[in-house]
């Protein structure tokens, strides 16, 4: 994924890019910054860290629910939401997941854009991080780490490792779980705007 982003940046002639990623997107941003620092001005990593971490059971449940929705040939998002309620009680998170639904051309049912079989098979490895030794590679430009205080993905004990890989990092805590952008959009927006604003 980091290679895909690097290709996009080069192909479009972008300069001094700010990369913001949540969850796996955060690991993508960190990987890109460490592997191709010349392409990146700064990064914002949202609720993830540069370490291997197994995914919570909830992700497998989400995939099961999404597969059930696909198999049910739902015609409306409300029908899909009723199915997903069995797997996730938060309407905010359900709406986020259901944002991947679309109606394929010529069909009258909704399907997910993401390849659910591939996603389901890959869950065991999705929490891995490709760089292991911060003594070998560092990103010396600004980095923002935003974490949900009710999430388990950026515990206090990983902060020293973040500091080793990203010595110019800043940390912002938001009173939310892993889906903090959906749960606290204004707090997230403020953190990003402050980080990206020119510093006096």
Look up 22 and say whether it is catalytic: no
33 in Cβ contact with 139 (< 8 Å): yes
Quick check: 26 and 46 in contact, CB under 8 A?
yes
* Cβ atoms of residues 126 and 54 within 8 Å: no
Q: Is 178 a catalytic residue?
A: yes
Residue of 23, 45, 51, 151 with catalytic role: 23
Catalytic residue among 45, 151, 178, 182: 178
* Separation of CA 93 from chain center: 13
Residues classed as catalytic: 23, 178
């Amino acid at each position: 994924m980091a290679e895909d982003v690097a290709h996009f940046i080069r192909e479009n002639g972008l300069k001094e890019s700010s990369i913001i990623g949540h969850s796996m997107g955060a690991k993508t941003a960190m990987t890109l910054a460490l592997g191709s620092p010349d392409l990146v001005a700064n990064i914002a990593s949202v609720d993830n860290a540069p370490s291997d971490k197994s995914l919570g059971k909830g992700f497998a449940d989400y995939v099961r629910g999404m597969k059930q929705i696909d198999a049910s040939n739902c015609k409306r998002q409300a029908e899909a939401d009723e199915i997903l309620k069995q797997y996730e009680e938060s309407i905010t998170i359900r709406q986020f997941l259901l944002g991947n639904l679309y109606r394929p051309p010529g069909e009258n049912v909704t399907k997910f854009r993401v390849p659910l079989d591939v996603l389901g098979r890959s869950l065991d490895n999705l929490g891995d991080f490709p760089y292991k030794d911060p003594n070998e590679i560092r990103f010396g430009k600004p980095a923002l780490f935003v974490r949900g205080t009710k999430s388990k993905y950026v515990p206090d004990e990983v902060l020293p490792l973040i500091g080793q890989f990203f010595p110019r990092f800043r940390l912002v805590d938001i009173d939310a779980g892993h889906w903090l952008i959906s749960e606290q959009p204004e707090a997230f927006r403020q953190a990003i705007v402050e980080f990206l604003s020119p510093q006096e």
